[in-house]
């Protein structure tokens, strides 16, 4: 699937909040429990939906995944890397703290057929789709 990038305005990226403005100036303006949003891809084949999340620095024990037939919730935290004392930061872009993403799925999935793996900073979740031709018959009573 090809993606089309649409950009509005004059091409200047504006910070999402005033905290983002000060965080780029100095990391000391960054609150300790800041939330962030990891990058994710969702793609599908005929039989499954695959989610790939970029979670560098997030330990497996600090990561949780919840699913239902229509959505996936991925949440956890990335602990801050120890800072070097008496260092002057010139750039501080790496985000730390808690994160949460709720992804709505493009097709209903079978929650009994889900696998997840965490390797080299990536979380991959494979979700089997429910068959479309599965019919549930309902008995009609005489009452």
| Residue 116 maps to a domain | yes
Q: The CATH number of the domain where 76 resides is what?
A: 2.60.40.790
The answer to whether 139 touches 60, Cβ cutoff 8 Å, is: no
Does residue 21 lie in a domain region?
A: no
d(CA 14, CA 122): 28
Q: Band the pLDDT of 24: cuts 50, 70, 90.
A: low
- Of the chain, the percentage scoring pLDDT greater than 70 comes to 75
Bridge partners of 110, per DSSP, are none
Burial code (b: 16+ CB inside 10 Å, e: under 16) for 78-114 equals beeeeeeeeeeeeeeeebbeebeeebebeebbeeeeb
The whole-angstrom separation of Cα 54 and Cα 36 is 12
23, part of any domain: no
**Structural domains of the chain, count:** 1
| Distance, CA of 118 to CA of 66 (rounded, Å) | 15
75 belongs to a structural domain: yes
Range of the domain at 52: 34-85+92-129
- pTM strictly above 0.85: no
In this structure, is residue 119 part of a structural domain? yes
41 has pLDDT over 60: yes
Mean pLDDT lowest among 8-12, 15-19, 77-81, 94-98: 8-12
Inside any domain, residue 1:
no
The per-residue pLDDT for 138 is 80
Token pair listed for 44: 């599908």
Average pLDDT over residues 28-46: 80
Q: Is residue 32 predicted with pLDDT exceeding 90?
A: no
Q: Is residue 121 part of a domain?
A: yes
Residue 139: pLDDT band (50, 70, 90) is confident
Q: How confident is the model at residue 131 (pLDDT cuts 50, 70, 90)?
A: confident
**What's phi and psi for 69, nearest 5 deg?**
-70, -20
Whether the pLDDT of residue 7 is over 80: the answer is: no
């Amino acid at each position: 699937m090809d993606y089309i990038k649409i950009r509005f305005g004059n091409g200047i990226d504006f910070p999402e909040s005033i905290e983002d403005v000060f965080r780029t100036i100095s990391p000391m303006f960054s609150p300790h429990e800041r939330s962030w949003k990891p990058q994710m891809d969702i793609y599908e084949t005929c039989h499954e939906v695959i989610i790939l999340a970029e979670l560098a620095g997030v330990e497996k024990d600090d990561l949780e995944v919840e699913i239902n037939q229509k959505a996936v919730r991925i949440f956890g935290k990335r602990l801050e890397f120890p800072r070097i004392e008496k260092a002057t930061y010139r750039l501080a872009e790496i985000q730390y703290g808690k994160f949460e993403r709720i992804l709505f799925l493009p097709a209903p999935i079978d929650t009994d057929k889900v696998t997840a793996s965490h390797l080299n900073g990536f979380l991959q979740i494979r979700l089997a789709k429910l068959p479309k031709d599965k019919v549930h018959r309902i008995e009609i009573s005489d009452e």
